[in-house]
Amino acid sequence: MHTFSTLPVEIVYRIMDHQNDETLFCSMQNISRRLNQILSTYERYRTLTELSLYWNGIGTKGAQHIANALRTNTTLTTLNLGYNRLGDGGAQHIADALGTNTTLATLILLDNGIGAEGAKHIADALRTNTTLTTLNLSWNGIGAEGAQHIADALRTNTTLTTLDIGYNEIGYEVAQRIADALRTNTTLTTLILDSNQIGDEVAQHIADALRRNASINMVFGKKHACEIGLSNGTQGIFRELIYDDQKDPSDLKIKSEIFPSNAIYIRKPLYALVELNASQVVTNLDGLRRKLIPIPLIKKQFTVPIRQLFGHLLDRVQNERRIPQVIQVTRTQLPIVPAFAITTYKAYGLTMNKIVVDLQVPFQTLQVVSVYVPLSRVKRAEHIVILRTFDMKVLPVRPSLAQDARLKRLDELDKKTKRQCTFFIS
């Protein structure tokens, strides 16, 4: 009878070949000294730098196993533990491991219900940890108390560059704590305060800190009026996309027999130059005039449940192999959108100066209003541009039966009104 302590190394390797990354990282460490030695030479484990355990129902107990692995692991740089119901106990386990781990740079604890107590444990770890650069604590209900713990830790932390504490109901009270921390913290470059109902006054506190710390980029949440003029919803004038001119086009590795050899392919931009006339931020960048702000690309992650995509088809293959419950999608884009885009129904009653209209009507949604309303919003024909080619059948479309009935009712009402109010009309 053999155990891991006596099996030949090659056989242990073959066993590891059939394990997923989660098992390798969480369940095969610290079983025995010999297995630890074999694991440290196993290629997949040595090159395991990113691990996503998103939405796995890990809980507090599972967090303890992960923490034990983190204490000795020297390869992992990114760990995603989002949506795992870790609670404050799980947060404590992870925080304790951060005290000894020397490689983890990105930690995602999105929506784990860690609360203020869990935030305190993470804050304690931030005071001593020297490798973590990105931390996501959004949707954790840490509140003002938890955010204060994090703000206090920022005073001494010297490595964190990105912090997301969005959707945590931190409120006004934490504003001064964050502002005070930014007076001494010189490494934080991105602070996300999405949807925290912090109000205009707290925005001013952060803005004051922003002026003293020129390196920080603020990302405010929805429906927030920021007095510095860089809040979500700020309108500006798009001026130019800036690309990396030094990049060799041959590096794009595009091979096509359709386009000519001298075709120029659109590459991912570095940033956009946007003129923000209402902004109070004055740029002093070489070659840029005042009020011209560079807007860099941002990366966002979201998940899609597998069952939502495949429904009952998932049950046919789920018994044969382990299938993840969600797909995690990463999207990189410029955080800018057209300043004024509305639907046909929203345009009712509006008179506009110049518009661009899309007459590509979705299937089975064509009505008179789909075309008449957008085409009648301007006073002159030259003030309208049609976005793309469209089916000419949308122009002579007849009213629906319901619209016909409504028009007849209005016509009868008009006739009745004229008969009853002849004296006033004449």
246 shares a domain with 226? no
Which one of 278, 309, 333 terminates a domain? 333
**Contact (Cβ atoms closer than 8 angstroms) between residue 184 and residue 151:** no
**303 - beta bridge partners?**
328
pLDDT score, position 202: 66
Q: Could you give the CA distance from residue 75 to residue 50 in angstroms, rounded to a whole number? A: 9
Average of per-residue pLDDT across 285-298: 73
Q: How far apart are CA 177 and CA 170, in angstroms?
A: 11
* Domain-located, residue 384: yes
Contact 169, 198 (CB under 8 A): no
Residue 24 has pLDDT above 90, yes or no: no
Chosen domain end from 198, 233, 268: 233
Does residue 281 sit in the same domain as residue 353? no
Paired residues of 162 in beta bridges = 134, 190
So what's the pLDDT on residue 129? Answer: 93
As a whole number of angstroms, the distance between CA 312 and CA 317 comes to: 10
At 247 the pLDDT is 54
Backbone torsions φ then ψ of 135, nearest 5 degrees: -135, 125
In a domain, 136, yes or no: yes
pLDDT interval class at 1 (50, 70, 90): low
When comparing pLDDT for 127 and 381, which is higher? 127
Q: What is the CATH number of the domain that holds 61?
A: 3.80.10.10
Considering 233, 254, 269, which residue would you say is the last residue of a domain? 233
Same domain, 154 and 284: no
Q: Are residues 187 and 249 in the same domain?
A: no
124 and 188, same domain (yes or no): yes
pLDDT of residue 236: 74
Does residue 303 sit in the same domain as residue 287?
no
List the domain range (segments joined by +) for residue 226.
Answer: 49-233
DSSP state, residue 379:
S
pLDDT, residue 223, reads 39
Asked whether residue 76 falls in the same domain as residue 221, the answer is yes
Q: What percent of the chain has pLDDT over 90?
A: 19
Secondary structure letter of residue 400 according to DSSP:
P
pLDDT of amino acid 222: 42
Whether residue 217 sits in one domain with residue 307: no
The answer to whether position 356 is within a domain reads yes
32 located within any domain? no
- The per-residue pLDDT for range 348-368, each reduced to its tens digit, is 777 877 888 887 776 555 666
Identify whether residues 226 and 120 lie together within a single domain. yes
* Cα-based distances in Å from 396 to 91, 134, 276, 363: 63, 57, 43, 16
Q: Say yes or no: 96 and 154 in one domain.
A: yes
Residue 33 lies in a domain: no
Across the chain, what does the average pLDDT equal? 77
163 and 217 housed in the same domain: yes
The count of domains in the chain is: 4
Q: 309 and 291 share a domain?
A: no
Identify which has the larger pLDDT, 297 or 324: 297
**Residue 14 tokens, joined:** 């073959």
Q: Predicted confidence band at 255 (pLDDT cuts at 50, 70, 90)? A: low
58 vs 222: which has the higher pLDDT: 58
The reply to whether 29 falls in a domain is: no
Is 207 contained in some domain? Answer: yes
Residues of 164-176 as b/e, b for ≥16 C-beta within 10 angstroms? bbbbbebeeebbe
Residue 151 identity (one-letter amino acid): A
Mean per-residue pLDDT, 104-127 = 94
Residue 77 lies in a domain: yes
| Residue 333 or 251, more confident | 333
**What mean pLDDT do residues 71-92 have?**
91
